[in-house]
Chain A
């Protein structure tokens, strides 16, 4: 996984609330068994309008969205499609849980900020000015001296900053898992005995 420390770049001033995963990547684009190439379907319905912020800011690595971004279907194609568009960070007042888990596992940084801060960043992005995300210090800054600190799960930060793969990390805890499974197998034989 690609490590993430600091990123500066143009942001897409989107801002809409309750954007569901059907909007991020409509089901009709989910025809591949692999992950690449989904960017062309990302936000397809919104991009039918020639004046859309996505094509106006093609290649921008940051997306600014409204609250409850990523609600709806659990499809992991949503972060894959965003990544294929070149987006590495999404900033919003809040994210849907499943989407947030999927985003993290694919190295997409989600930054949660209060609505007022998000509104300010939308203004900055609309002016075509860059936004900087410093993950190590958990702060978003702009050329206008704006400075917004954001919360971050320490484990997710550790993995993102170091580009670590979560499955490999957990496999390193195999002894603890085996001990737990042995206890459950004794106490609750109906779980392990599933296919019996």
Chain B
């Protein structure tokens, strides 16, 4: 009867509070340098301490410099204070830190599975809305705010009301050149950016089962753009194989608990949606919400006037052929080894268009960077005209660091195209790494299926 989310929820319920909320035990907490210091200092100022420091991990990803030879200095003015204060506060609290120069440094959602910190059936929170990415491993993982991070660290729990459950069936098979990113954007286009509000979304179906673990992370990553409490995929052999033996994970997943981690056949979901993955084309966003997404061979619909004004494209304009200034491959959505492999395969022996002012590849973790370099991918990117960077969140959002003149247009493998997300006046088009590459080669938004 219960869904996967129900099972994890009930297993972690330590108590029900007098107010009726559930007190849910939190197995893993991630902090990052952007907000870590604030939470730790506020906690210390209240005379409180971390209940179990062994379960709290600190990454450095949001504002770290990604240029080669980096230090604590950041392009964001004053950014080094965030890094040094988070480091000092985390050390004082006895937390595990993956520091700027650590071989395990990276975007927290990328390094968590690399190190086996996320586990199927666990609860994991971080003060970052894309924590839902880690639901790909069958964990209940979601983004929280600083005060909730403080609460989780001090008490080992969070007070929560059980979210409603939603199942999204993705049957059919993705066509060649179409990726999990396109599927995520197609869901947003079809059901709206508020489509999952109040629900924990479980993705199921043949298209999901066929995805590798990295594609599943891309799909779950954008559950937050869907306004969902989180996204989750029931763990299968692929998930267990990806984690077994990692530093913080068990050597084998053979206890009965692991085998119970699925929604029962007759489980009741509060809502059900479905989309035929076989009908999805490469998608690209045209406006200022991720729901403003269309197939690469489509023309802009008539959307909110402000979105058209901001993006500088009228209804009826074909999205393909729109000139771009910047191309970016990176972020917790699309910065893993398989993303870089697919992008490099399309780029090999080619050169980006002369009109592109900047093209960047920022690996999701230092480990991804090393593995990509071992395969020679960095040389492919560099020969094509992309800069090859150190790991971090980079251009996914603007923190006052790396910027472009207002009105610049980016094609970006990231997750948000809000006004100003990548800097004041920057026009962002989100798409798969393949579409970013095709567009960088053409100098205009272009269909990756047309590259042989």
Contact = CB atoms under 8 A, between A and B. Distances in A.
Contact of A45 (B46, B78, B419): B419
B128 A74 contact: yes
Contact of B145 (A74, A191, A194): A74
A171 B145 contact: no
Contacts of B48: 167, 171
Contacts of B289: 18
A94 interface: yes
B161 interface: yes
A79 B146 CA distance: 11
Interface residues of A, number: 57
B370 interface: no
Contacts of B35: 75-76
Interface in B157-196: 157, 159, 161, 163, 193-194
B399 A33 contact: no
Contacts of A97: 163, 197-198, 227, 229
B155 A167 contact: yes
B257 A170 contact: no
B159 A170 contact: yes
Given A154-B19, A191-B122, A105 B145 contact: yes
A85 B412 CA distance: 34
A195 B420 contact: no
Interface string A15-32: 000101011001110110
A192 B51 CA distance: 12
Interface stretch (B20-28, B260-268, B341-349, B354-362): B20-28
A71 B145 contact: no
Given A18-B289, A170-B155, A192-B52, A102 B147 contact: yes
B146 A76 contact: yes
B148 A191 contact: no
Interface string B99-125: 000000000000000000101001000
A114 B279 CA distance: 36
Nearest to A22: B418
A141 interface: no
A101 B37 CA distance: 20
B209 interface: no
A174 to B, nearest CB: 8
B312 interface: no
Nearest to A159: B19
A187 B193 CA distance: 39
B156 to A, nearest CB: 6
Given A30-B399, A45-B420, A170-B155, A176 B15 contact: yes
A20 B151 contact: no
Interface stretch (A115-123, A143-151, A177-185): A177-185
B249 interface: yes
Interface in A71-89: 71-76, 79
A170 to B, nearest CB: 4
Contacts of A134: none
B70 to A, nearest CB: 20
Interface in A37-77: 45, 67-68, 71-76
A97 B194 CA distance: 11
A67 B78 CA distance: 35
Nearest to A34: B38
Contacts of A195: 53-55, 96, 248
A167 B53 CA distance: 17
A71 B147 CA distance: 18
A188 interface: yes
B23 A177 contact: yes
Contacts of B23: 170, 173, 176-177
B257 A187 contact: yes
Interface string B80-98: 0110010000000000100
A105 B14 contact: no
Contact of A33 (B27, B41, B128, B424): B41
Given A76-B145, A195-B96, A155 B55 contact: no
Contacts of B379: none
B192 to A, nearest CB: 9
Given A33-B38, A153-B161, A177-B157, A28 B400 contact: yes
A106 interface: yes
Nearest to A103: B145
A30 B78 CA distance: 10
A74 B129 contact: yes
Contacts of A94: 194, 197
B399 A28 contact: yes
A97 B162 CA distance: 12
Contacts of B76: 31
A31 B77 contact: yes
Nearest to A99: B145
A181 B144 CA distance: 22
Interface in B405-421: 416, 418-421
26 contacts: A18-B289, A23-B418, A26-B420, A31-B78, A34-B38, A68-B227, A71-B193, A72-B129, A76-B145, A79-B145, A101-B144, A101-B148, A105-B147, A106-B147, A153-B19, A153-B21, A155-B19, A156-B19, A166-B147, A167-B154, A173-B17, A181-B25, A187-B257, A190-B119, A191-B122, A194-B54
**Which 10 residue pairs are nearest across A and B when measured between Cβ atoms?**
A155-B19, A180-B14, A102-B145, A105-B147, A195-B54, A76-B145, A176-B15, A74-B129, A74-B143, A76-B146
Interface of A: 18, 20, 22-23, 26-28, 30-31, 33-35, 45, 67-68, 71-76, 79, 94, 96-98, 101-102, 105-106, 153-156, 158-159, 166-167, 169-171, 173-174, 176-177, 179-181, 184, 187-188, 190-192, 194-196
